Amino acid sequence: MRGEEIDWIPPEGTWASSAARRRNMQAICSRDTKPELRIRRLLHAQGLRYRVAAKPLPGLRRTADIVFRPAKLAVFVDGCYWHGCPDHYVPPKTNSSYWSAKVLRNVTRDRDTDTRLQAAGWTVLRFWEHESPDSCALTIAAAVSRNRNSRP
């Protein structure tokens, strides 16, 4: 079937505007993205050890990109599109009502996650994928050091 055009019409209210778009969106990774890997390499080179794609709180069905359990530090590296970056988010041209609502739900969930973790005594750091990995790693290392030194 390679090279053939597939006539696929999505059911009303679905998220994909075409079969090709559906395959494209399903292929997007939720972990081990290039920005995450760059930051993790820098942290590891500084001698820091951490958990990857871990749940900071057992009862919370959400994962942080990088977790330092003893320091109670959760790090998120947010994609500009999926998390509504104020500098880089561009609303989609197709199926825009669905995707705009999806991004808004992501942003709302992000704020809720931050609130829940902070209420449990965690420090939450969020970075955009376009930020300098060196700067992010320095900020994270400083927070880990600060949190470890302030814990009894």
Q: Which residue has the tokens 């500084």?
A: 46
What's the mean per-residue pLDDT of the chain? 87
- For residue range 19-68, what is the model confidence (pLDDT) as tens digits? 765 666 565 666 789 999 999 999 999 999 999 999 999 999 999 999 99
CA distance 22 to 106: 19
Task: For the chain, list the domains and their CATH numbers.
Answer: 30-150 (3.40.960.10)
Determine contact, residues 105/82, Cβ cutoff 8 Å. Answer: no
Spatial CA neighbour of 138 closest among 39, 5, 63, 68: 39
Identify residue 112 by its one-letter amino acid code.
D
Identify residue 58 by its one-letter amino acid code.
P
CA distance 68 to 70: 6
